[in-house]
Amino acid sequence: MTTRWFGARVQRAEDDRLLRGRGRFTDDIDEGALESVLVRSPYAHARINSIDVSAARAMSGVVAVYTAQDLPFGGTDLPILIPHPNLTHGRTQRCLASEVVRYAGEAVVFVVAESRAIAEDAAELVEVDYEPLPVVITPETAARAEHLVHDDVPGNVAAEMVQEKGNVAAALESAPRRKHFHFRYERGAASPMEARAVWARWSDGERKLTVYDSTQSPTSIRGGLAVLFGLPESQVDVIAPDVGGGFGPKIMLFYPDELLVPYAAMQLGRPVKWTEDRQEHFTAVNQERGQVHEVDVGYDDGGRVLAFDDDFIHDGGAYTPYGIILPIITAGQLPGPYRVPNYRVRFRDMYTNATPTSPYRGAGRPHACFVMERTLDAIAADVGIDRAEVRRRNLIQPDEFPYDVGVGWQDGNTVVYDSGNYPKLLETALEKLGPKPAGENVGMGLGMYVEGTGVGPYEGAHVQVLVSGKVVAATGIPSQGQAHATVWAQVVADELGVDVRDVEITSGDTRRFPWGVGTFASRGAVTAGNAMHVAARMVAEKAKKIAADAVLSNPVRYAFGGGTEAATQFTPKARPGPPLADGEEPGLEATGYFSPAGSAWASGCHAAWLRVDPKTYRLEILKYVVVHDCGKVINPMVVEGQIEGGVAQGIGGAFYERLAYDSDGQLRNASFMEFLMPYATEIPKIDIEHIETPSPLNPLGVKGVGEAGVIPVGAVIGSGIEDALGIPITEMPLSPLRLYELSTSASTSTSTR
Amino acid sequence: MKVNGFAHPAPSDPRRLLSDHLRHDLGLTGTHVGCEHGVCGCCTVLLDGAPVRSCLMLAVQAEGHDVTTIEGLAPGGSQLHPVQQAFHECHGLQCGFCTPGFVMSVVGLLAQHPHPTEEQVDEGIAGNLCRCTGYASIRRAVTRAAVLLAPLTPDPSPLGGEGANPADRSSSGGEGAGTSP
Ligand code: FES
Ligand code: FES
C-alpha cells in the first residue's frame, strides 16, 4: 500500500454540497407535504379535565386533529430505551397526554393542516381544561418528596444504586485528613442550530413508509415504527439526512412527533411534515446535567486520596425514557484518571416536573469531573501543595493498564481503563500553558478527565467496489457534522489502496444499511470506523483471492492500487466445479461488523489562564490549552474541530447559558435572546495537542473524541475563577451576576478551601 | 425582487417572511432558519450586497431589491466562491447548518473590510451562532478568504501555505488550513 490516508488532514467530502446550499436537512424536504403543529402543555404539572378540538377540526384547511384517544397506540406508554434492574420505578410518557401532564412542553394535541400557518392558527383554537397540580422543580425539592411527580412513585425516586470498592467507612475513619463538600450542577441544553424535524410519506403502491428524521438513530426508529405499525421492517425506511448538530438529545425512542408524523402520513395518504420551532425546542427536547453531590473525602498529609464517598441525586425530569444511563456514567467516571482505593457511590434518580433528561455531549461526565477536580483543588489547598502536584500524586501510572476501577459501567461490565498516559497529559498541558500572565485577578484553571468511549454492542458496514472501480460504503449510524463521509473513506481507502476521493460513504440511511445502534457516546469512530475497516479488509481479501484465481499464482504478492482499473480486469480462471464455489458470493462486496470487547478510554487535560474583572465579573479566557488522547487519530483536522466545538460548548455551559426555571416549572428564557449561547467574541483560541496511546481493544486503535472537549470545561472554569477571585466555587453554571453574589455574600460552610 | 439575478414576483401572502419565501416558495433551501427571532444568523442573505436576516424581513419588503442567497454565490456548480473555498480549506463547517449564514456574513464583512483585523473578524461574525465548530476554524476561514479574495496581493498570511502533507500527523492545534494529500 503506497498512500496512507489514516492520520492525514484530508479535507471533507461533505463540504461542497453544504457550502453551496445544497445540503438536505429534513425541513428542506417538501414534496407537497401537509404541515403539522403540536399543542403542548403550558403547565409543568396539571390534570387534564377535558380537551375540546372541535373548533380546530372545523377550521378550513385543517386536515386532521389527533388527541390520545384518536390513536391506536394512544394508551401505550412509550418504551424505555435502556432498561436497568435498578430502575425500579421507570415511567415514560404517552405519545399524547390525556390525563396528567408532568412538564411544560409535554405534547397534548397534534394538528395537521394544509399549511403551517393554518395548523398554528388551529392549534390556538384547541381548548384544554387543565387543573394545576403542585410542581416539583429541583432535584432537592424532589428528594424532600412533599409532592409527587408520579402518584405511584414513592419519594420521587425512579432508581437508586449503591456501589462500593474497598471499605470506605473504615478508610474515612482512619484517614489523617477528611473533608465534606456540597456540589451543585444545573441543567443545560444542547441547542443544536437545527431544531428537530420529521417528514413522512406512505406509498400505497410500494407499500412503503419512508421517514426522514433528524435523529441520531434511524435504525432504532425504524425498528420501533415497524413494531408499532405492524409492518415488516422491509416496508419501513428511516433516513437521517443532513442533521444540523445533535449532541445527544436527537436520540429518543420516541419523541411524540416521530410516531405522529408517520402515523398521520399513513392515515391521510399524503406526506406530512413537522418542524420544531426554537421556543418549542427549549422545552420539548431532552436536557441534562442537573445533579447535587454530597462528598466525603479522606486523604493523607501528602494529598493522596484514601477514600471517596459520594452521595448524589440526579435530576431525571418528568420521565425516564432513556433509563438511568446518566447517573450510572457519573458514578463510573467520578474517580477519573486518579487512584481511589476506597470508593463508594450512591445515587438516586429523581423525578421532577421538568423536561426529561437524556445524554447531552459529555453525558454524566462534566458533573463527575467537576466534583472530582474541585475536590482535588481543595485537597491541594488544605495540605499546601499546588494543584498540579496533587494531581501528579494521585494519577494512575502508565504501567498500571488495564486498570480496573471496580465499579459498574454502562455496558454492564466494570470500568476498566484500557490504555493511557495520564502523567504525560498533565505535564504537556502545564508546559504548553506557560507562566502566569501579568495582571490582577488572573487565575489558573486545571481539569483532567477520562472518557469511556465506543460502547457496543456493535456497528456494521457494507463496502462495495463498483464496476467503475469506485467504492461505495454504508453504515447505519448517521452524521450530525462529524465528517463520517471523510474519515471512513480514509479507513476504506487505506484497505483497498484507492484514492480517498473514490470512496463514497452513506450513513444513517436504512435503505443502504439496515442494522446499527446510533451516533452517541463518542462511539462512531470506534464501532462504525472499525466495521468499515473489517468490511473493507474482507473485500480486499476477496479481491486478492479472485485475482489469484485469475491472473496470479500467489495472492500474497498481490498489492492493491491503480484505483479504477483494479475491479474490472478479472477473468476467472478455469477450475473444476461451479464457477461460484460453495460459500462464495458474487461481487466485490462484503458486510462486516465490529463489536468492542469493552470501552476505549480516552483521556485529557485542560489548562487555562483566565481573568475575572473585579467590578463587572466579566470572564476573559487568556489562554486555553487542551492535551488529549483519543488513541490513533484518523484525521487531525476533524478531531481538532470536535475538540474546539466541545470546549466552546463547555464554556457556554459554564458561564453563559443557564436554563432559568421558575418555581412553577416554567422555563423563563426559552429563546436565544435570553439563553446566551456564546458567539465568536466569547470563545478564545484553543491550543490543542494530540497524544496517542492506541486502544488495544480495536484494530484501528482509535478512541472516541466527540464529547471529550466539553467534559472538563466546567471544572477548569470553576478552578480558574476560584484561583482568580479567591472565592470557593462549588456550583455550575456561573455568570457575572452569580459571581457578584458569591463575592459579596458571607463565606458558606460549603467552602472548598 | 431579484433573487440571485433572476426576477421573481412577490409572494401573494403579504405576511410571508423573506426566509420562508426563499425556502418554501422559491425552493432555495440553502437559507436556513435556526431561531426565527433574529439571533442566530442562519438565515443571513445579502440585500443589495449587505447581510440581512431574512427571518426578520417580510418578503414584500425585498421588492425592488437584489437578494443574494448562498445558492447565488457559485451558481450552477461553478467554482466555489473564495469564501466558500476558504471554509472548505479551513474546516469552517461541521454540520453545515449555520454555514450559509456565516458565508453570507463573511462575504459582507470582507466587502467592507478586505483586510480585517482579528477584532474585525470577531465582530464581523459575532452575529452568527455556530454550535459545532467553536468558531476557531471559522476565524481561520475568514482570514484565508481575505487572502483568496486578494489574488494580486502577495500572500501575507500564515494560512496561505501548503498545509500539512499526508504523513504529517503533528499536533499543531490546527493552525494550518487542511489540505487534500
Ligand atoms: S433564523 Fe433568522 S436569525 Fe435565526
Ligand atoms: S457547523 Fe454546525 S452549527 Fe455551525
Residues with a CB atom less than 6 Å from ligand 1 = B 33-36, 38-43, 53, 55
Residues of chain B within CATH 1.10.150.120 domain(s) are 73-154
What cell does A143 get?
428528594
Q: Among B127, B136, B168, whose Cβ lies nearest the Cβ of A644?
A: B136
**pLDDT (tens digit per residue) in A250-293:** 999 999 999 999 999 999 999 999 999 999 999 999 999 999 99
Interface of B with A in 140-159 (CB under 8 A): none
Residues with a CB atom less than 6 Å from ligand 2 = A 193, 244-245, 481; B 93-99, 130-133
The pLDDT confidence band at residue B46, using thresholds 50, 70 and 90, is very high
Q: Indicate the CATH number for domain B1-70.
A: 3.10.20.30
Which mutation among A15, A18, A19, A193 tests ligand 2's pocket best, with the greatest number of atoms within 8 A of CB?
A193
**Would you call B83 helix, strand, or coil by DSSP?**
helix
- Return the sign of the alpha-carbon dihedral for residues A410, A411, A412, A413: negative
Predicted pLDDT at B44: 98
Per-residue pLDDT at A419 exceeds 80: yes
Distance, in Å, from the CA atom of A335 to the CA atom of A451, rounded to the nearest integer, reads 11
Predicted pLDDT at A750: 46
Phi/psi of residue A309, each to 5°? -125, 115
Average pLDDT over every residue of A460-468: 94
Distance, in Å, from the CA atom of A115 to the CA atom of A148, rounded to the nearest integer, reads 40
Distance, in Å, from the CA atom of B158 to the CA atom of A609, rounded to the nearest integer, reads 25
Helix extents (H) in A84-128: 116-125
Whether the CB of A486 is below 8 Å from some CB of chain B: the reply is: no
Residues of chain B within CATH 3.10.20.30 domain(s) are 1-70
Cα distances (angstroms) measured from residue A459 to each of A252, A450, A529: 18, 23, 9
Specify the ligand 1 atom closest to the Cα of B43: 2
ipTM of the complex in this document = 0.94
Which of chain B's residues have a Cβ under 8 Å away from the Cβ of A685?
A: 136, 139
Distance, in Å, from the CA atom of A98 to the CA atom of A354, rounded to the nearest integer, reads 18
Predicted pLDDT at A575: 67
- Name which of A361, A362, A373, A366 is nearest A426 in CA terms: A373
Tell me which of B135, B144, B148, B175 to substitute to probe the interface with A (most A C-beta atoms closer than 10 Å): B135
Identify the helix (H) or strand (E) that includes residue A375. Answer: helix A365-383
**pLDDT (tens digit per residue) in A192-234:** 999 999 999 999 999 999 999 999 999 999 999 999 999 999 9
Q: Among B70, B133, B173, whose Cβ lies nearest the Cβ of A21?
A: B70
Residues of chain A within CATH 3.90.1170.50 domain(s) are 31-133+193-245+251-284
Which of chain A's residues have a Cβ under 8 Å away from the Cβ of B34?
A: 193-195, 244, 278
Which of chain A's residues have a Cβ under 8 Å away from the Cβ of B134?
A: 641, 643-649, 683, 686, 709
Tell me which of A247, A679, A707 to substitute to probe the interface with B (most B C-beta atoms closer than 10 Å): A679
Interface of A with B in 266-295 (CB under 8 A): 277-278
**pLDDT (tens digit per residue) in A570-605:** 455 566 777 777 888 888 999 999 999 999 999 999
Tell which CATH architecture fits domain A31-133+193-245+251-284: Alpha-Beta Complex (3.90)
**Would you call A306 helix, strand, or coil by DSSP?**
strand
Predicted pLDDT at A494: 96
User: CA-nearest residue of chain A to B181?
Assistant: A10
Per the document, the length of chain B is: 181
Predicted pLDDT at A583: 82
Specify the ligand 1 atom closest to the Cα of B36: 1
First to last CA, chain B: 44
Rg of chain B over all Cα atoms, to the nearest angstrom: 17
Query: How far away is chain A from the Cα of B16, in angstroms, using its nearest Cα?
Result: 10
Distance, in Å, from the CA atom of A199 to the CA atom of A213, rounded to the nearest integer, reads 6
SS (H, E, C) A511-550: CCCCCCCCCCCCCHHHHHHHHHHHHHHHHHHHHHHHHHHH
Q: Among A9, A645, A677, whose Cβ lies nearest the Cβ of B163?
A: A9
Could you tell me the fold of the domain covering A15-22+456-594? Aldehyde Oxidoreductase; domain 4 (3.30.365)
Could you tell me the fold of the domain covering A364-453+599-748? Aldehyde Oxidoreductase; domain 4 (3.30.365)
**pLDDT (tens digit per residue) in A658-706:** 999 999 999 999 999 999 999 999 999 999 999 999 999 999 999 999 9
Complete DSSP assignment for A626-689: EEEE-BS-S-HHHHHHHHHHHHHHHHIIIII----B-TTS-BTT-STTTS----GGG---EEEE
Per-residue pLDDT at B180 exceeds 80: no
Residues of chain A within CATH 3.30.365.10 domain(s) are 15-22+456-594, 364-453+599-748
Q: Which residue has the cell 421588492?
A: B63
Tell if the pTM clears 0.90, that is, is over it: yes
Whether the CB of B76 is below 8 Å from some CB of chain A: the reply is: no
The angle at the Cα of A744, spanning A740 to A748, to the nearest 5 degrees, equals: 110
Interface of A with B in 6-65 (CB under 8 A): 7-12, 14-16, 18-25, 27-28, 30
Tell me which of A637, A682, A688 to substitute to probe the interface with B (most B C-beta atoms closer than 10 Å): A637
Specify the ligand 2 atom closest to the Cα of B132: 2
The angle at the Cα of B83, spanning B78 to B85, to the nearest 5 degrees, equals: 55
Per the document, the length of chain A is: 753
pLDDT above 70: percentage of residues in chain A = 95
Predicted pLDDT at A307: 98
Per-residue pLDDT at B152 exceeds 70: no
**Would you call A369 helix, strand, or coil by DSSP?**
helix
Whether the CB of B30 is below 8 Å from some CB of chain A: the reply is: yes
Distance, in Å, from the CA atom of B117 to the CA atom of B128, rounded to the nearest integer, reads 18
Q: Among A23, A30, A277, whose Cβ lies nearest the Cβ of B96?
A: A23
Predicted pLDDT at A456: 85
Distance, in Å, from the CA atom of B35 to the CA atom of B24, rounded to the nearest integer, reads 17
What cell does A369 get?
469531573
Query: How far away is chain A from the Cα of B8, in angstroms, using its nearest Cα?
Result: 19
User: CA-nearest residue of chain B to A710?
Assistant: B134
Bridge partners (DSSP) of residue A161 are A347
Cβ atoms of A254 and B140 within 8 Å: the answer is no
Specify the ligand 2 atom closest to the Cα of B131: 3
Query: How far away is chain B from the Cα of A191, in angstroms, using its nearest Cα?
Result: 8
Give every CB contact of residue A745 below 8 A, 6+ residues apart in sequence. Answer: none
Name the DSSP class of B22: I
Predicted pLDDT at A544: 85
What cell does B43 get?
438565515
Name the DSSP class of A176: S
Q: Among A19, A643, A672, whose Cβ lies nearest the Cβ of B99?
A: A19
Give every CB contact of residue A316 below 8 A, 6+ residues apart in sequence. Answer: A158, A324, A326, A349, A350, A351, A352, A356, A357
**What is the CA A364 to chain-centroid distance, rounded?**
10
Compute the distance from residue B18 Cα to the ligand 1 centre, in Å. 11
Interface A-B, measured as beta-carbon pairs within 8 A, has a size of 226
Distance, in Å, from the CA atom of B178 to the CA atom of B172, rounded to the nearest integer, reads 12
Cβ atoms of A602 and A453 within 8 Å: the answer is yes
The angle at the Cα of A748, spanning A742 to A750, to the nearest 5 degrees, equals: 105
**pLDDT (tens digit per residue) in A708-747:** 999 999 999 999 999 999 999 999 999 999 999 999 984 4
Predicted pLDDT at A375: 98
Distance, in Å, from the CA atom of A92 to the CA atom of A85, rounded to the nearest integer, reads 16
Per-residue pLDDT at A390 exceeds 60: yes
Interface of B with A in 49-68 (CB under 8 A): none
> Which one has a higher pLDDT value, A621 or B152?
A621
- Buried b / exposed e across A229-262, counting CB within 10 Å, b at 16+? bebeeebbbbbbbbbbbbbbbbbbbbbbbbbbbb
Cα distances (angstroms) measured from residue A424 to each of A115, A150, A386, A693, B124: 59, 49, 18, 11, 39
Predicted pLDDT at A184: 98
Predicted pLDDT at A559: 52
Q: CB distance A680–B166 less than 8 Å?
A: no
Cβ neighbours around A422 below 10 Å, total: 28
Which of chain A's residues have a Cβ under 8 Å away from the Cβ of B73?
A: 20
Which mutation among B55, B97, B98 tests ligand 1's pocket best, with the greatest number of atoms within 8 A of CB?
B55
Distance, in Å, from the CA atom of A137 to the CA atom of A354, rounded to the nearest integer, reads 6
* Encoded amino acid at A470, one letter: K
Average pLDDT over every residue of A490-513: 95
Query: How far away is chain A from the Cα of B179, in angstroms, using its nearest Cα?
Result: 6
Ligand nearest to the CA of A194: 2
Compute the distance from residue A220 Cα to the ligand 2 centre, in Å. 25
Interface of A with B in 420-449 (CB under 8 A): none
Tell me what the pLDDT averaged over chain B comes to. Answer: 86
Q: Indicate the CATH number for domain B73-154.
A: 1.10.150.120
The pLDDT confidence band at residue A491, using thresholds 50, 70 and 90, is very high
Predicted pLDDT at A549: 72
Predicted pLDDT at A521: 85
Per-residue pLDDT at A548 exceeds 80: no
